[in-house]
C-alpha cells in the first residue's frame, strides 16, 4: 500500500488491510501453497491478533476444506467480532458439520453477540441436514425474535429445514408468508412434497412457479424426477426429462438415478439400460448399474441383470451389495450351483465396512447411534 508521504519506489511495510486483501485473493488457491505461507507472514509481521486479518484467514481455511486450522486460529485470537463467529457457523455448515455449526451458533448467543440473517440461515441449514425438528423450531423462534421473519435468506433456510424434516405443514406456512420467494423456496417445497410422496402437490407448485416466471434449475428437475420415481409416474417423468433437456440443463447423476429407477421399476428395463449406456456416468458410477440390477432382480430379468452386475463389478469388484443382488438374481433363475459359488465368495471377502451413523431423538435429547453388521444398535 503506497502512502502519499512515502517516495515512489521505497518499500512500504504491509498493514492489516494489505494482509486481509492478499489472504482474500489467495483463498481460492490451495492453502498449502498460498494461504498458509501468507498466514506465517502475518504472524511474522505481528498482525496475528488482528480481527480483520483473522476473519479472512478463517474464511480461507474453510474455503480450502481445513476446518481444524480455522478452529485453532479462532481459539487463539484474543478478540473476536460477530463476523468471525458467523464465519465459524457458516463454514462448518457449508462443510456438512452441522453439530459444530450449531455449537458455535449457541456459543455466539451465549457470548452476547447479535445474530444476523446469515448466521441464522447457516444454523437452520445445519438443522435441515441433522433432521433436528425441535431444534429447528427453536431457531424459528430466534428468527422471529431477531426480526428476520421477512428476510428471504432466513425464510428460505427455515422453509428448507421444515421440508427436509417432513414437517410440510410448517414448511408451507413459511412458504405462504414469504413475500418474495426465490428459486430456493420453490425448490424446497417441490422437493419436500416430492420426497414424501405427494407428487400432485409437487407438480402443482411447479406449475405455479412457472407462472411466477421463475426459471427451473437442475435442483428443480431432481425434485420433479424424484417425485415421479417415488410414485411410478413414467410418462410424467419422461415429460419432465424432455423439459429439462429443452431448458438446456445437462442431467447429472441424480437425474439419471431417478430415471433409471423409474423406468426399471416400471418394467422398461431395455429403455433404462439404453438411457444408462448413453449417460456420461456409465463407466464411472456403479451405483446406477446397481439400481438397474435391483429392478432386474425384482422382475427376474436374467439377461439385463447379469450385464448390469458385470458392469457394476467391473467398476467396484468388492461391493457386497452387488454380489448379494447377483446371488438373488441367479436364485430367481434357479441356478443354485452359481448361487452357492457367489455366496462362498461373499463369505470369503474381507470387506471392512464403515460403521453406519444415525440420530435418534428421545424426548428432548438427541443421541448418535453407530452400528456395523449387526441388528443391535448401541446408543452412545
- In this prediction, residue 207 carries a pLDDT of 96
Give the pLDDT of the chain (380 residues) as one tens digit per residue. Answer: 444 554 555 566 777 778 888 888 877 778 777 778 888 888 888 888 888 888 889 999 999 999 999 999 999 988 899 999 999 999 999 998 988 999 999 999 999 988 888 899 999 988 887 777 888 898 999 999 888 887 888 889 999 999 988 899 999 999 998 888 999 999 999 999 998 889 999 999 999 999 999 999 999 999 999 999 999 999 999 999 999 999 999 999 999 999 999 999 999 999 999 999 999 999 999 999 999 999 999 999 999 999 999 999 999 999 999 999 999 999 998 999 999 999 988 888 754 455 555 555 555 555 555 544 433 233 33
pLDDT in tens, 106-140: 999 999 988 888 899 999 988 887 777 888 898 99
Q: How many CB atoms lie within 10 A of CB 239?
A: 13
**Distance in angstroms (rounded) separating the CA atoms of residues 106 and 93:** 14
H helix runs in the chain, sequence order = 16-26, 35-44, 51-63, 67-76, 82-94, 98-110, 117-130, 133-146, 152-164, 168-177, 183-195, 199-211, 218-231, 234-246, 253-265, 269-278, 286-299, 302-315, 320-332, 336-348
**Distance in angstroms (rounded) separating the CA atoms of residues 194 and 166:** 11
Task: Give the H or E element holding residue 362.
Answer: strand 356-362
Q: 3-state DSSP call for residue 11?
A: coil
Distances (CA, A) of 69 to 59, 73, 75, 150, 341: 11, 6, 10, 35, 50
Distances (CA, A) of 357 to 17, 67, 219, 232, 322: 44, 21, 26, 30, 22
What is the model's pTM?
A: 0.74
**Distance in angstroms (rounded) separating the CA atoms of residues 149 and 212:** 22
Closest CA to 291 of 320, 316, 312, 268: 312
Closest CA to 243 of 206, 208, 191: 206
Whether the CB-CB separation of 54 and 86 falls below 8 Å is answered with no
Structural domains of the chain in order of their starting residue, each with its CATH number: 253-349 (1.25.40.10), 353-380 (no CATH)
Closest CA to 60 of 93, 102, 97, 32: 32
- In this prediction, residue 240 carries a pLDDT of 97
Please give the grid coordinates belonging to residue 180. 418474495
- In this prediction, residue 127 carries a pLDDT of 84
DSSP lists the bridge partners of residue 368 as: 359
Please give the grid coordinates belonging to residue 380. 452412545
Distances (CA, A) of 135 to 130, 215, 312: 10, 33, 41
Amino acid at each position: 500500500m503506497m502512502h502519499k508521504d512515502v517516495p515512489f519506489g521505497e518499500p512500504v511495510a504491509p498493514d492489516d488491510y494489505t494482509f486481509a486483501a492478499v489472504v482474500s485473493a489467495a483463498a481460492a488457491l490451495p492453502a498449502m501453497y498460498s494461504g498458509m505461507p501468507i498466514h506465517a507472514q502475518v504472524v511474522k509481521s505481528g498482525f496475528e491478533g488482528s480481527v480483520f486479518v483473522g476473519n479472512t484467514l478463517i474464511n480461507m481455511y474453510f474455503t480450502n476444506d481445513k476446518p481444524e486450522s480455522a478452529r485453532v486460529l479462532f481459539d487463539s485470537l484474543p478478540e473476536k467480532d460477530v463476523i468471525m463467529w458467523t464465519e465459524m457457523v457458516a463454514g462448518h455448515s457449508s462443510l456438512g458439520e452441522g453439530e459444530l455449526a450449531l455449537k458455535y451458533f449457541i456459543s455466539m448467543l451465549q457470548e452476547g453477540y447479535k445474530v444476523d440473517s446469515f448466521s441464522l440461515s447457516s444454523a437452520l441449514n445445519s438443522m435441515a441436514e441433522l433432521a433436528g425438528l425441535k431444534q429447528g423450531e427453536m431457531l424459528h423462534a430466534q428468527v422471529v425474535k431477531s426480526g428476520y421473519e421477512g428476510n428471504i435468506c432466513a425464510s428460505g433456510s427455515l422453509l428448507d429445514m421444515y421440508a427436509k424434516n417432513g414437517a410440510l405443514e410448517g414448511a408451507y406456512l413459511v412458504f405462504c408468508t414469504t413475500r418474495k420467494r426465490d428459486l430456493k423456496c420453490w425448490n424446497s417445497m417441490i422437493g419436500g412434497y416430492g420426497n414424501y410422496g405427494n407428487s400432485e402437490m409437487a407438480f402443482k407448485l411447479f406449475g405455479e412457479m412457472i407462472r411466477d416466471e421463475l426459471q427451473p434449475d437442475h435442483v428443480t428437475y431432481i425434485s420433479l424426477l424424484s417425485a415421479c420415481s417415488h410414485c411410478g409416474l413414467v410418462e410424467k417423468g419422461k415429460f419432465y426429462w424432455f423439459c429439462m433437456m429443452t431448458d438446456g440443463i445437462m442431467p447429472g447423476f441424480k437425474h439419471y438415478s431417478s430415471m433409471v429407477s423409474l423406468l426399471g421399476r416400471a418394467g422398461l428395463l431395455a429403455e433404462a439400460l439404453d438411457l444408462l449406456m448413453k449417460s456420461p456416468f456409465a463407466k464411472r458410477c456403479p451405483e446406477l448399474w446397481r439400481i438397474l440390477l435391483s429392478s432386474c432382480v425384482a422382475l427376474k430379468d436374467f439377461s439385463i441383470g447379469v450385464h448390469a452386475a458385470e458392469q457394476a463389478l467391473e467398476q467396484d469388484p468388492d461391493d457386497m451389495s452387488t454380489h448379494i443382488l447377483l446371488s438373488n438374481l441367479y436364485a430367481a433363475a434357479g441356478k443354485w450351483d452359481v448361487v452357492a459359488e457367489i455366496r462362498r465368495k461373499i463369505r470369503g471377502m474381507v470387506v471392512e465396512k464403515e460403521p453406519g451413523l444415525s440420530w435418534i431423538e428421545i424426548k428432548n435429547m438427541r443421541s448418535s447411534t453407530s452400528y456395523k453388521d449387526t441388528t443391535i444398535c448401541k446408543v452412545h
